[in-house]
Structure 1
Amino acid sequence: MTSPHILCIMSHYTDPALSLRRLEISRATLLPSLTAQTRKPTLHIVVSADDVHLQERLAGYAGTGCDCVVLYRDTWRLYGENWQIPQTHCIIGRVDDDDVLRSDFCEIVYHCGMVHRERAIIWPLGLVYWRGQMFRLEHNGNQYLTLSTSRGIDPHHKAHAVIQREWRSVRASFKPGWIWVRHGDAETSTLPKYRAVPAGNWQPDAWPVDLAAVDAAIAPSGVPSADYREHGQRPRGMRVSQWLSVHGSDKVSTHNYGSFYDSLFARLRPQALLEIGVYRGASLRAWRSAGVPKAIGVDNDPATASLDRHVLLADMPRQAYAVAEQVGLLDVIIDDGSHLYPDYTATADVLLQRLRPGGVYVIEDIQTQDSVDALRRDGWQIEDWRESTGRYDDVIAWRVRE
């Protein structure tokens, strides 16, 4: 007779940006791990009904081929959650939605639990991924603890260290069984003792994970901190570049403008911003997420303007005066429109006067060296990343209204 193998997963999110960020991380870590399992567990997943990305999240879990039990909860709880574990013999584990498991992890743990009942099953050996490096970690069973039990409890009914003292344990394997992905969303990215031994030749092809996708997914979380002290000294909240990445803006994917806007927003703290050329609205959403109360767009595409009530339908520079009458005073103006020199200079001639003193006017994606030279002669500051990125239009011109 077989017993249920249950894997408890906390995926409870209410903040839209954090939810999206963790969903992308899951798509590069836990979801492919579950898809690759040679023996599928049943997933008990705690979620929030207020999660704006809930349906995408649940579709991801369903796509792994695992049976899913969805548990709606009002709050996130580390310990004492009711995971609805049956009062019969079960093998019960718990993972985070950013973990990576080797493809036979669940099969090995399950068979171990069927043989050794009322035991804590430990898998001490694994890997830690931190700042693009892989480390080998022997964790003495605190991570990736599984219970083989009929008590209806889960591995987080108490702290892992307490369970280890109270339960007899059996080791599942002497092979590395998991990857602990550390990133800026963690309370501390990982203590130095957890990254003391480089992994060396750890055979990445043997793991159901794409590290390039992991790096891209964790980038909006920020650079992983080194310890509690460093993490505690960091300013709270996300940088503008992180919000641009979260919302999928080409300002940080195709172009290299993230550090420029980080510096600009830290110095200026804009309250009113106008962006010309909205496309699908990614950067407009990012400005709002970064705390700009008034973020207005201008676009000449009726379909784009219809997506957001704060996007004005206008053809620039022909209707620049009409736009100027509607927007009020601004702290930042960004021209990401036609990228044609006659267009953006004529637009700037009109809209520059809508900036408050000290406000900044930005022109993105300067197309030619002649345009760069002409703007510089006219007093514009130039930020040029072309040599480092190899992209011909990775140039910004900007100026401050005196």
Structure 2
Amino acid sequence: MTFDRRIFNFAAGPATVPEEVLKQAAAEMLNWQGLGASVMEISHRGKEFMALYEETLRDLRTLMSIPETHEILLLQGGGIGQNAAIPMNLMPLGKNGPKADFLVTGIWSEKSFKEAQKYGVAHQAASSAAEKFNTIPARSSWQLSDDAAYVHYCANETIGGVEFPDIPDVDGKLLVADISSNILTKEMDISQCGVWFGGAQKNIGPSGVTIVIVRKDLMGHSMKITPSIWDWSLQAATQSMHNTPPTFAIYMAGLGFKWLLKQGGVKAIAQRNQEKANLLYDFLDQSSLYENRVTKAYRSRMNVTFFLKDENFNAEFLAQSHAAGLVALRGHKAAGGMRASIYNAMPLAGVQVLIEFMRDFERRA
């Protein structure tokens, strides 16, 4: 099926990009800044791109209130790449050899936990697997190690629709946060974590660039086996240009940051995001056909998972919603059901139209 209009795209990533950003990119595609070429065609070391690069970093520092104690790296390889880079850069800081603790609250933190096992001792300090990743384990049940280099957690589990409401208390230990799916969606105290990382393809722009925010004193401790492309200190020394950077993705991220600033910054977008999530969860909670299975205190604002209580209607629900221009609502294959990802660029109108469709479908089911 093809559309002659913009759809409401509820995909988990790559996800919706603000229409204003897409239009600017289209207008500048053939002639960026009067150079007679697109931003993809100019040297990444030329003065024009370097000016763009520095402005992109400044805007991100402004949006997230990133102090000068933390370096910003714009890398490739996504969160999966950082699942290897983080242990290779930080595990040597363990008191008795390479070791790290993991809070396993979904598929993505589980992937991080399994990848880290290749580089040292990965200790599962907490897990909600027994609860089908529908909650976050009680703080009293966490078994944090005394000799781990850091504690890793995923702030928002895209697949299961589980989100930490606050930065977890880990008794003052070094904390690493995977913010791939809730970066720039609410205010975060950068000083509370040694490392923050996430891809751009959910709340910022297209895929291709991975943001790593790392406390400067944590660099320079990498394992000897660390590939140069994953060595944070080397990347910092070369302005994330040890290899050719993803120039178009950085340019698009920069446009995304400008768009966020125009919306009023992170504080303003957080209020909008909460409003969208509240609307959808309130509808689900009163429905006789749909249900959300995540513990209310840990429901994601970004990825709203839900199930039809009679799953015989699944195929028809997906077919009709797609025909109505409500696209990519099928849940991840590991979780089943449905999922509406309502990231920064999803307008309130998109959620309202989705609820109207779901209410009508429920009446007809």
Report if TM-score (shorter chain) is over 0.5.
Answer: no
TM-score (norm 2): 0.28
Q: Return the structure number with greater strand share.
A: 1
TM-score (norm 1): 0.26
Rg bigger for which structure? 1
The structure whose RCO (Cα within 8 Å, separation 6+) is larger is: 2
Q: Return the structure number with greater helix share.
A: 2
